Amino acid sequence: MSVNIPLFVVDKPVTKDFFWNCFGFTLKCSESYRRNYLTEIVTEEKSKVYAAFYKSAFVIKLDETTDANGRHILNIMGQPLNGSVSSRAAESI
């Protein structure tokens, strides 16, 4: 399971109470997550993307939408072309 919780939300008392009541632990402050985990996670994810796309044809799709609060969100999606779609077809997407 994964969730998309903005990092600033972990500083809110209601979020801390929710995690304590439902899961029996409280969250650290957002700055702690940024300092101790974010750089490592970003580096790891960049390595995964690089390995998936290195020296291969791929398609990148951009999707703009809005969230529940009306903020604009840009999703960037990539897909390697593992022979399932010709490169000429990919150019027309």
33-81 pLDDT tens trace? 888 888 888 888 888 888 877 888 888 888 888 888 888 888 888 887 8
Domain tally, the chain: 2
Residue 21 has pLDDT above 90, yes or no: yes
What DSSP assignment string belongs to the chain? ------GGGGGSHHHHHHHHHHHS--PPPHHHHIIIIIHHHHHHHHHHHHHHHTTS-EEEEEEEEE-TTS-EEEEEEEEE--SSS-HHHHHT-
Residues 39 and 1 in one domain: yes
- Whether 51 maps to a domain, the answer reads no
Residues 2 and 35 in one domain: yes
Residue 91 has pLDDT above 60, yes or no: no
Residues 27 and 62 in one domain: no
Residues 39 and 2 in one domain: yes
β strands within the chain, DSSP E: 58-66, 72-80
pLDDT at residue 11, rounded to an integer: 92
Residues 32 and 69 in one domain: no
Q: Which residue has the higher pLDDT, 56 or 23?
A: 23
Q: Give the domain range for residue 27.
A: 1-44
